[in-house]
Amino acid sequence: MTSIEQQQEIGIPAAGVKERFSIFNLPGGWFLAIAAVAIGSMYLEVLPSGLIGSLIIMIVLGELLGWIGDHTPIIKSFLGGGAIIAIFGSAYLTYAGLIPESTVTGISDFMQGGDFLNFYIAALITGSILGMNKKVLTQAGLKYAFPLLAGVVGAIVLAAVVGLLVGFSIQDSVLVMTLPIMGGGLGAGAVPMAQLYSELLGNEPSYYMSMLIPALALGNVFAIIFAAGLHQVSKKFPSLTGNGQLIKGFSYEEKKFTPDIAKMGIGLLAAVTFYMLGQLLGEIIPIHPYAIMILLVALAKVVNVLPAIVEEGASQWFQFVAKNFTLALLIGVGVVYTDLEAVLGALSFQYIAVVMGVVLGAILGAAFVGKLVGFYPIEAAITAGLCMANMGGTGDVAVLSAARRMELMPFAQISSRLGGALIILIAGLLVNLFL
C-alpha cells in the first residue's frame, strides 16, 4: 500500500489530492437527492414492505450516518468511525421514535424473516477465508496460531480476574465482553455471537448486543491507544521490535483479482452453499452451524479442493457485499438488536476495567508466546493481540497507523479474518461448557 493510499484509508487527504464530497461513491448532491426520496417515503409511510423498501432506507441511513462518523474528529480515529455512528445513530432514532413504526417493523422482518443477516454473514465467512493467500495460511499460519491463541487466552484470563475483582461473573466477563472484543468486529463477531448466545442461553439477541457493542467500541479505543504506546516502547527497547517485520526471512505477496460479474455470481452460490452445509451438519453435530461452516471453508482452502474460479468468485462476492451492504446491515443492527437504554446502563467503571483487562491480556499473551516461537514481541503483540481486539478491517488500519507499522497489514488480516472466525468457534464451545 502506498503512503497516499494509507493516508486515504485513515481519512487524511494526501498532499496534492483534492478531496471531493461523495457518499456511496456518488457525487454528494446525487446521493442526497436519492436520500430525500427514501426518507420522504419513510415519513409518508409509503415504503414498500420487503427487500426494496427496507434495503433502500437501510443503505441511505447507513451511508449518511457512516459518512458523519468517518468525518467526525475523535470518533473517526478512536471510536470506530462510521460503524459506531450507524449503529448508535439508528438505535437512537428508533429509541426516540424518529423512525416510523412501520419502517422499524419492515427492517426487523427483513433482517430476521428475510434472512438478510445470515446472507451477509455467509458471504463474509466464505469470501474472507477463501480469498486469503494460501502461502500465508499454510507457511505462517501454524506458527502464527501460537501467539494468536496466547493472546486470546491472556485476554480471557486477565478479564476473568479483573471481572471477579470488580464484581462481574466469569461468564459475563468472558462470554459477553472478552469474546466479542477478540472476535471479527461487528458483522462477523458481535452479530452472530449475539444470535448464538440467544439460541443457547435463552435471552433475546438485543440483550446481548446491548453489552457486546459497547465492549467492541471500548476495546477498539484501547487497542489504538496501546498500539501508539507500543510504538514508543519500541524506541526505548529496540531489541523487542523488528520495526514492522514480524519474523525474519518471510515475504508476503497478495494475489490481485480483476472484478468479474460472472465470478461474483459463483461466489454468491458458494457462500449460500457453505451456509446450507453448516445448517445441514448442524442438525447432527452438536456445534453451532456458523462454527461448522467456518471449519468447512477453512478445510476446503487448505486442501485446495475448490477450483480457482470458486475461490476468486467467493472473494469478489465478499468484497462486493462488504463494500455495499455493511453500513446497511449496521442500521439493521441498530434498529433491531440495539437497546440504547440497556447500552447506556451497561457503561460503568467496572465495565471499562474489564475491557481494559481484555486488551492488556491480549498484548501480554501474544507478546510472550510470540517471542517463544521466534517472532518479535512488539509486532506479535500488535498483530496477534491488538488486531484481534480491534473492530476488524477499519480497526486494523487505525491500530497499525498508530503503531507506525502499516506493513504488518497481512498479519493483521489473518487476525481479523481467521482469528475472528476462531472466536465464534470458541464461543460455541465455551457456552456449552458454562451451561
Model confidence over 19-29: pLDDT tens digits?
678 999 999 99
Tell me which residue has cell 462454527: 291
Q: What are phi and psi of 23, to 5 degrees?
A: -135, 135
Contact (Cβ atoms closer than 8 angstroms) between residue 378 and residue 241? yes
Average pLDDT, integer, range 252-262: 72
Statement: residue 51 has pLDDT above 50: yes
CA atoms within 13 A on the CB side of 272: 9
Average pLDDT, integer, range 179-195: 75
Between CA 322 and CA 22 the distance in angstroms is 18
Statement: residue 381 has pLDDT above 90: yes
Average pLDDT, integer, range 161-174: 90
Nearest to 290 by CA among 416, 114, 122, 435: 122
- At 417 the pLDDT is 66
**What does pTM read for this prediction?**
0.71
- Between 129 and 394, the more confident residue is 129
- At 59 the pLDDT is 97
Statement: residue 9 has pLDDT above 70: no
Q: 35 vs 25, 63, 187, CA distance in Å?
A: 14, 10, 24
If you average pLDDT over every residue of the chain, what do you get? Answer: 83
With cut-offs at 50, 70 and 90, classify the pLDDT of residue 8: very low
Length of the chain equals 435
